[in-house]
């Protein structure tokens, strides 16, 4: 059965436009309460990023959960992976995240975690949607849920992050720039790196409700590059608005993306003798990573785009490491979901253990030139359109065996994503633009 509201990463959209409205969120809280209630003293964790609309939606979810007889534990601004961790360790029935991740402030969304800190199954999401079609009913007053604030949430998660670094290893002598994207990690990430001994320069840590991901963070690393170079830092760490993705910058100001970071972590685990199973990437994973892992005799499997699909494939093949070039990195030997801080810590621990710089560690992987073009669309596009497929075949013929073409609809935004990859940058640029022109033509007709 097709899901009506849930996409690849929860429910997301523009604030004030259905379904991202207060009345829907109240109903969603109630529906989730129906699914997660067990008749006992149960509660659900609710956290958020720094968007101004988070206050409104936090209250709406709380009201819906309360009406269903489920307690609410409010975390306030907290990274998405922190909510996954706290849901598991505080023995909550579920965790709810109010966030639109790397999107602008005027978007928002809802993500859920199971009691084990993992993404919900399709079955549970469909069950929640079933209750959304029913009228709200309120339990009798003596059974209403109660709301409380969790006052030590940040401290718990900071200690958890620090414990992901090998015992006895610290970051003494390192100068690190940390970019919090004016998002949910602003009260967390700087403390983690400082308490491990690094000298930390923090940027993007002054959220005002409207500036999340604006000019800062994993999707806009220009200020991080400038700050690393200006302060002669060893490296920079850029997180996104909800802290589940990371990219890094080396001491030369070169951006190190998710594929390169996964390669470094894989090589580190291999050196330590702890790497199990294949590494799992996605359809967007750079060919250079596939080739670099092959030289290490480490297989790469490709999942559909979306960290939930990466996690599912890791579980199926008993793997422990995977992710996306956008910076969603999953280290299942450390946590249950993509975690930007945890991933960055694994890379920095390898730097300290080997004495090599981030720049040196990434050199084992040579990225193929890759161009990604996002085309906005107001309606669903048939990617099997004859004109589009003819254009794709022409590009594939031109690239031969030394490249790839990928067209897909975004699961979180009204976009068609066009990716072309090959050996020669000029050819890749030319083919990507030609393909984009043909897709635009199909969209407009």
Q: Give the CA count within 13 Å in the CB-facing half-sphere of 353.
A: 19
**Beta strand pairing status for 94-98 and 107-113?**
antiparallel
Determine whether 121 is an active site residue. Answer: no
The closest alpha carbon to 266, from 285, 250, 251, 252, belongs to 285
Contact 241, 364 (CB under 8 A): no
> DSSP for 226-287?
HHHHHTT-SEEEEE-TTSSBEEEEETTS-EE-HHHHHHHHHHHHHHHT---S-EEEETTS-H
Question: Distance between CA 141 and CA 135 in Å, rounded?
Answer: 18
Q: Which residues pair with 420 in a beta bridge?
A: 371, 405
At residue 242, what are phi and psi to the nearest 5 degrees? -110, 5
DSSP E strands, 290-422? 300-303, 321-323, 329-331, 370-376, 403-409, 415-422
Per the structure block, which two tokens stand in for 48? Answer: 């958020």
Q: Of 101, 114, 164, 268, which residue is the catalytic one?
A: 101
* Burial tier of 379 (Cβ tally within 10 Å: 0-12, 13-18, 19+): exposed
Contact 78, 47 (CB under 8 A): yes
For residue 351, give the 3-state DSSP assignment: helix
Q: Which residue has the tokens 């409104």?
A: 56
360: left (phi over 0), alpha (psi -120 to 50) or beta: alpha
User: CA 396 → CA 56, 388, 419, 427, 433, distances in Å?
Assistant: 48, 12, 12, 12, 14
Question: Distance between CA 51 and CA 363 in Å, rounded?
Answer: 38
Please give the order of strands across the beta sheet that includes 199-203: 199-203, 175-179, 235-239, 246-250, 255-256
Question: Distance between CA 191 and CA 194 in Å, rounded?
Answer: 5
Contact 385, 442 (CB under 8 A): yes
Helix-helix angle 425-444:386-399, to 10 degrees: 170
For residue 302, give the 3-state DSSP assignment: strand
Active site residues: 101
């Amino acid at each position: 059965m097709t899901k009506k509201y849930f996409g690849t990463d929860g429910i997301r959209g523009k604030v004030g436009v259905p379904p991202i409205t207060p009345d829907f969120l109240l109903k969603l809280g109630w529906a989730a309460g129906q699914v997660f209630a067990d008749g006992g003293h149960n509660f659900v964790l609710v956290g958020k990023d720094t968007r101004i609309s988070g206050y409104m939606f936090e209250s709406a979810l709380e009201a819906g959960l309360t009406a269903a007889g489920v307690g609410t534990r409010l975390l306030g601004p907290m990274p998405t992976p922190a909510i996954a961790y706290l849901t598991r360790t505080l023995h909550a029935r579920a965790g709810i995240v109010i966030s639109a991740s790397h999107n602008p402030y005027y978007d928002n969304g809802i993500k859920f975690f199971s009691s084990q800190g993992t993404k919900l199954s399709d079955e549970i999401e469909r069950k929640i949607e079933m209750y959304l079609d029913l009228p709200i009913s309120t339990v009798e007053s003596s059974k209403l849920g109660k709301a409380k604030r969790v006052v030590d949430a940040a401290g718990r998660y900071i200690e958890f992050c620090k414990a992901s670094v090998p015992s006895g290893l610290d970051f003494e002598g390192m100068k690190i720039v940390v970019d919090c994207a004016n998002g949910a990690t602003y009260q967390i990430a700087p403390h983690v790196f400082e308490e491990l001994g690094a000298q930390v320069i923090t940027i993007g840590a002054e959220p005002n409700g409207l500036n999340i991901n604006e000019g800062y963070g994993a999707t806009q690393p220009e200020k991080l590059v400038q700050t690393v170079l200006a302060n002669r830092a060893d490296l920079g760490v850029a997180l996104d608005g909800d802290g589940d993705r990371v990219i890094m910058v080396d001491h030369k100001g070169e951006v190190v993306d998710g594929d390169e970071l996964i390669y470094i972590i894989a090589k580190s685990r291999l050196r330590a003798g702890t790497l199990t199973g294949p590494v799992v990437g996605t359809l967007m994973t750079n060919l250079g990573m596939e080739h670099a892992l092959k030289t290490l005799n480490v297989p790469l499997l490709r999942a559909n785009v979306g960290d939930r699909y990466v996690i599912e494939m890791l579980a199926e093949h008993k793997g422990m490491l995977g992710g996306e070039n956008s910076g969603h990195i999953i280290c299942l030997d450390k946590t249950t979901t993509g975690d930007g801080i945890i991933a960055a810590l694994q890379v920095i621990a390898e730097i300290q253990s080997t004495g090599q710089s981030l720049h040196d560690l990434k050199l084992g992987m040579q990225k193929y030139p890759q161009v990604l073009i996002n085309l906005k669309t107001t309606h669903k596009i048939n990617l099997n359109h004859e004109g589009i497929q003819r254009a794709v075949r022409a590009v594939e013929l031109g690239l031969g065996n030394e490249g790839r073409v990928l067209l897909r609809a975004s699961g979180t935004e009204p976009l068609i994503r066009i990716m072309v990859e090959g050996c020669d940058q000029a050819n890749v640029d030319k083919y990507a633009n030609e393909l984009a022109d043909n897709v635009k033509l199909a969209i407009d007709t």
